[in-house]
Structure 1
Amino acid sequence: MSNDTFNLGKEQLMQQSFVQMDKHLQGASYTPAQKLALTCRILFDNGHDSGLAGQITTRGEQPGTYLTQRLGFGFDETCASNLLLVNEDLEVLQGDGMANPANRFHSWLYRARPDVQCIIHTHAVHTAALSMLEAPLEISHMDNCVLYDDVAFLPKWPGVPVGNEEGELIAQSIGNKHALLLAHHGLLIASSSIEEGCILALAFERAARMQLLAAPAGKIQPIDPALGREARDWILRGQRSAVTFAYYARRTLRKGADCLQ
């Protein structure tokens, strides 16, 4: 590398790095169903297991449809072959079995947010513990800035989210953000891709864990807003999400590749 880079400003160096990332970073080639199944396995391996609770969906090829896991299968059992294609009314179009009735709020959110391609909802343990405090998620560390100023908060639990009222409330509460903390419940991610959704869900749970570890030691100090947004935009890029997802997929696939079937 030329020493000329020592005369460049930070913004110039960042833009230069973006060009290099777009050129050199390559994600893995998986079908949407395989990505969804891998996301289930990755999140299971990283503390998002809560029995049969939680849903992960991605839009189908036809408007008003989406892929989701079959009710009765845990994240660790989900494969590309046992996913369901459902419509907004949760009627199964492809596959056997039924979808989780709580998927109804996914239908509301997909209607409200045309930009969203993937929705992840889990009861990850540290997020769930934080939600019991009726306190919002605090983003105060560089690693978690992918979510900086991008997490909404629903302070009151609306009950089991199987009704249209809950779906409408959740869709309104998240607004135009990528993430939502639901009090006494869990996390919600609304992302532009499956890969991005997986990375945001991992970051959310890590941030919740760090908040619970830091809070007993003292007051969590905020970070500079401009620097927080800078870090968020640095991390949250399509190519970076794709290559990070590929890394977690490789980790998970070392245990077995049955989820790709």
Structure 2
Amino acid sequence: MATTLRDTKGSLVARAQRQMREHFGESALTTRQKLALTCRILFDGGHDSGLAGQITARAEAPGTYYTQRLGLGFDEITEDNLLLVDEDLNVLEGDGMANPANRFHSWIYRAREDVNCIVHTHPLHTSALSMLEVPLVVSQMDTTPLYDDCAFLKDWPGVPVGNEEGEIITAALGDKRAVLLAHHGQLVTGASVEEACDLGMLIERAARLQLLAMAAGTIQPLPHELAKEAHDWTSTDRRSQANFAYYARRALRNHPDCVTTGTTEGKAL
């Protein structure tokens, strides 16, 4: 017999969160493996734009992070060909050079101690939306993790290889997890690789939905309190872990060469 049909929404939310903590946990994958998988996941998710874009994650030593080698596309990244760089983009481990545009990642990591992963890409629909010089509008339940959590940089500062662009983009991001960059693309951050990957997938879907809705009529806003509730409900670490595990399983089926150390069999993704 059912015992929860008269429970309050608050108690049911708390119950679901307890269950997610029990059933979803930390991944056994390394940071390198998660980052390589994120490159493949986002490639399959429409984030490919030639060699444009950078995906980084903090490494073990302060002031260092992992990133892909300039000259390789997201679909070519493996845990073995990632670079370890310092804040000046000097390569500490690996062969080749980092994308010079990684410089603004150094600025964000310095300003935001809560950020451990940054995804900056030029996906098709997000880039198209950026050409209109309008902010991202979150008006659909699935995209509420970005509700009131996506900043907007209206003025394009040019090619982001200088320290000036690092200051401008970091200031525009502020304390939010994402920023839409006019005439450019998108940037999302996460406390974990999993969170940043999830938001990277989501912002492209949100941009596509916005363009479709704008073409059909006027987008109607979500009620603020309900949207904020949905944002918080969908923004937990366990949700990020569960979403990423699904994306990772799919990526490994499509790109089994991505993870090269040992095997993923028996590992918690």
The TM-score with structure 2 as length reference comes to 0.95
Deviation at 1:233, TM superposition (A): 1.1
Give the counterpart letter for 2:143 in structure 1: N
Determine the structure 2 residue equivalent to 1:247. 246
Conserved 8 A contact 2:150-2:178: yes
1:73 aligned counterpart, secondary structure: coil
Number of residues of Structure 1 aligned to a counterpart in Structure 2: 260
2:4 aligned counterpart, secondary structure: helix
Deviation at 1:49, TM superposition (A): 0.3
1:149 aligned counterpart, secondary structure: coil
Determine the structure 1 residue equivalent to 2:135. 136
Which segment is superposed worse, 5-14 or 150-159? 5-14
Q: Distance in 1 between matches of 2:218 and 2:30?
A: 45
1:14-53 correspondence to structure 2 within 5 Å = 14-26=13-25, 28-53=27-52
Give the counterpart letter for 1:78 in structure 2: I
Q: Distance in 2 between matches of 1:30 and 1:243?
A: 14
Determine the structure 2 residue equivalent to 1:163. 162
Q: Distance in 1 between matches of 2:28 and 2:201?
A: 21
Q: Distance in 2 between matches of 1:85 and 1:194?
A: 16
Structure with the larger helix share = 1
1:153 aligned counterpart, secondary structure: strand
Conserved 8 A contact 1:89-1:104: yes
Q: Distance in 2 between matches of 1:127 and 1:167?
A: 21
Q: Distance in 2 between matches of 1:167 and 1:238?
A: 28
1:47-86 correspondence to structure 2 within 5 Å = 47-86=46-85
The TM-score with structure 1 as length reference comes to 0.98
For residues 129-165 of structure 1, give each alpha carbon's deviation from its aligned partner in whole angstroms, at most 9, with x where no partner exists. 0000000000000000011100000001100000000
Conserved 8 A contact 1:122-1:188: yes
Deviation at 1:28, TM superposition (A): 3.9
Deviation at 1:174, TM superposition (A): 0.4
1:95-114 correspondence to structure 2 within 5 Å = 95-114=94-113
Determine the structure 2 residue equivalent to 1:209. 208
Deviation at 1:27, TM superposition (A): 5.4
Q: Distance in 2 between matches of 1:24 and 1:260?
A: 24
Q: Distance in 1 between matches of 2:215 and 2:133?
A: 16
Give the counterpart letter for 2:99 in structure 1: N
For residues 164-217 of structure 1, give each alpha carbon's deviation from its aligned partner in whole angstroms, at most 9, with x where no partner exists. 000000011100000000000000011100000000011100000000001011
Determine the structure 2 residue equivalent to 1:236. 235
Q: Which runs of 5+ in 2 are unaligned?
A: 261-269
Conserved 8 A contact 2:54-2:121: yes
2:69 aligned counterpart, secondary structure: coil
1:233 aligned counterpart, secondary structure: helix
Question: Which aligned runs of 4 or more in structure 1 are off by greater than 6 angstroms?
Answer: none
Which segment is superposed worse, 118-127 or 238-247? 238-247
Give the counterpart letter for 2:44 in structure 1: D
Deviation at 1:4, TM superposition (A): 2.4
Which segment is superposed worse, 22-31 or 10-19? 22-31
1:5 aligned counterpart, secondary structure: coil
Aligned-residue sequence identity (percent) comes to 62
Conserved 8 A contact 2:40-2:255: no
Q: Distance in 2 between matches of 1:50 and 1:167?
A: 21
Conserved 8 A contact 1:27-1:242: yes
Determine the structure 2 residue equivalent to 1:220. 219
Determine the structure 1 residue equivalent to 2:12. 13
Which segment is superposed worse, 232-241 or 33-42? 232-241
Which segment is superposed worse, 45-54 or 28-37? 28-37
For residues 71-98 of structure 1, give each alpha carbon's deviation from its aligned partner in whole angstroms, at most 9, with x where no partner exists. 0000000010000000000000000100
Deviation at 1:248, TM superposition (A): 0.6
1:114 aligned counterpart, secondary structure: coil
Determine the structure 2 residue equivalent to 1:258. 257
Q: Distance in 2 between matches of 1:241 and 1:70?
A: 26
1:258 aligned counterpart, secondary structure: coil
1:214 aligned counterpart, secondary structure: helix
Q: Distance in 1 between matches of 2:29 and 2:242?
A: 12
